A and B are shown apart, each in its own frame.
Chain A
Amino acid sequence: MANGSKQIVDFAKIKATMADPYKHPVQVIDREGKVVDPDTLAKYSDDQLVDFMKKMVWERTLHEQTMNFSRQGRLGFYAPTAGEEASEMGSVTAFKQQDFLLPAYRDLPQMIQHGTTVAKGFLWSKGHVEGNQHENPNMLFPQIIIGAQYVETAGVALGIKKNGDEDRVAFVYTGDGGTSQGDWYEGVNFTSAFQAPAVFFVQNNGWAISVPRYKQTGAETLAQKAVAMGVPSVQVDGMDIVAVHEVSKAARDFAAAGNGPVVIETLTYRYGAHSSAGDDPSRYRTKEEEKPWFDADPLIRMRKVLTDKGVWSQDQEDKLVDEYKDEFKQAMKEAEAAPAQKVSDFLKWTYNVPTPAVKKQIAEFEAKESK
């Protein structure tokens, strides 16, 4: 090939422009609390907006109370959620009871909204089987193996499609780190191949424990990863509950109508540690990085909109916080009163029909437990 001749393909240009359709986060209320999309906001009644705010106050209070309980040694593994209220409450409220939720470990608030109790959430954290048994049967327990919930979502969504269930979808969460897992691609790709109804959330909170988002991939956005699987996707301001809800609802409608899955990347931030088990963010990130995110707080933003409308007051919020705290303390009492677990039960649940060896061990443990 002669020097200086035109290349048959301009990879530099492709690389520079490939993220273009995916990096305009949907926003309704900006970080200063200014309404940038009044038409969308107008679709929501004051009551609905107040309800959003209540749910975020609820989640923030739950976070603070769980941190207290953790310090008191009354919880086990717990993944803090402060900063992600708009992303979590805005999304889960777009789904219906019949939709099937596949949560990860940072998604207890969505599980509670979808049909379990705070006490069950605490029991899960403490390591008790009742923490996996929920009133709404349409959910799994929080997934620990990051990515597994994505491949399982493909199965739930295909099952829904095969059952011919009307107005029903699967929805699932992971974080920014989760998008690096092979299972992430397999889950989205299988669902796309079967054109099954699912909404895949990526809560991009900037950090996978100590590894920043930019180290996960050379892709400019996580949303754009979906295009390779033929799946529509979008970035949304994850600190803007109205935007998250609106996008989630549109995704649910799209999937439920038989158009296949959607991927939603919410841009949010993990204010605190990865988990209550000793992670210290000051080891890997700076206060300078944190501040603009704290300023973009979803509650501050919504508080301003509602105060401007005259439908929210600090008094009202303080009262709510007290009510929620009482509710969580009560839930902890309930969790602490759960019956002691028995190894004989663990053995009974290992198989539907116990094997001869397991049968023998059940008898041994029952004898011990009855003493």
Chain B
Amino acid sequence: MAKMTYIKAITSGLDQVLNDDPKTLIFGEDVGKNGGVFRTTIGLQDKYGEDRVFDTPLAESGILGLAIGLSLTGWRPIPEIQFMGFTFEAMDGIVGQLARDHYRFGGQKNFPVTVRTPFGGGTHTAEMHADNLENYFTSTPGLRVVTPANPYDAKGLIISAVESDDPVLFMENLKLYRSMKDEVPDEKYTVPLDSAKVVREGSDITIVAYSAEVNESLTAADALAKDNISAEVIDLRSLSPIDTDTIFASIDKTHKVVVVQEAQRMAGVGAVVASDIAEEKIMSLDAPIGRVAAPDSIYPFAQAENDWIPNADDIEAKAREIANY
């Protein structure tokens, strides 16, 4: 087993699915010779040829149209949208078409498309590159949305996403790409598409987070532990559907919960989690549901990102408040 970065783990997973299924195709802007602007697909065109890994013209709606049409002719497409902000150009393709097509056919045809796209703040990108836009997609029936928070899950989830016959939006966190390493098996393994994971056990309070905020939550949990507050941290991994069973089981143990997201408060995943908890587990709670989220401004100008993105201190403060309620 080798230590691998998050981005290398995704590359390794893509290598695996290209190897396993000759109908898989990777395409998008710069994914071929250049290996993607972040090098996520590096080496794959050399290994599998231009027929399987290829550049497209610069047009995101066209890329999604390509994915849908290729599905109709028996292929298993893995398109890349270079940055999540660019998914707006492919909104009809993803939300208006891809997510609905299996339903429209009354289940007769599958559209096994995995749309990969990088997102997430903290790397001082240009505008429209880092926004957390997941809520536009998690409110779309028919589409699965997953995002790994560590290299191990990154490889296992990308393989599951590609093997799934449902369309999946696979969100890759820009800041995590090269900032963390993990033991990642060389061989094939999968991580289920619709399951959250307890990444730190605790007994006093549950912190639910996803993507880069999982690490921030773990840092907060370390700080809380010094004051004998034992925090359990859950990584959602799947944003649609939400694995409420794992969350509810934890709340039955801790009776307190804080829900964390990097996206603006009004942008929904945390709100959905909080409403699920309120609906099913309110009688098990000893305190109000805490929420940590970015403020409801437009995504900040890059220089001010660190003042805006919720961090470990914000999570620690909210968790302390709820724990001591």
Contacts and interface: CB of A to CB of B under 8 A. Distances in A.
Given A100-B73, A159-B75, A349-B102, A182 B61 contact: yes
A152 interface: yes
Interface stretch (A11-19, A140-148, A216-224, A287-295): A140-148
B70 A159 contact: yes
A137 to B, nearest CB: 8
Interface in A117-133: 129-130, 132-133
Contacts of A358: 241
Interface residues of B, number: 45
Interface string B87-102: 0000011001100001
Interface of A, secondary structure class, is helix
Contact of A100 (B59, B66, B72, B141): B72
Contact of A345 (B57, B106, B194, B245): B106
A351 B245 contact: no
B102 A160 contact: no
A352 B65 contact: no
Interface string B40-79: 0000000000010000110101101111111111110100
Given A151-B61, A187-B62, A189-B57, A129 B106 contact: yes
Nearest to B73: A159
A156 B104 contact: no
B92 A155 contact: no
Given A351-B142, A351-B144, A154 B73 contact: no
A45 interface: no
B103 A187 contact: no
Contacts of B243: 356
Given A186-B59, A190-B62, A355-B241, A163 B73 contact: yes
B166 interface: yes
Contacts of B179: none
A130 B244 CA distance: 35
Contact of A151 (B65, B144, B194): B65
Interface string A318-353: 000000000000000000000000000110111111
A352 B110 contact: yes
A145 B92 contact: yes
Interface string A354-365: 011110000000
B16 interface: no
**What 8 A-B pairs have minimum CB-CB distances, sorted nearest first?**
A155-B69, A151-B65, A159-B73, A355-B241, A186-B62, A156-B69, A155-B66, A349-B107
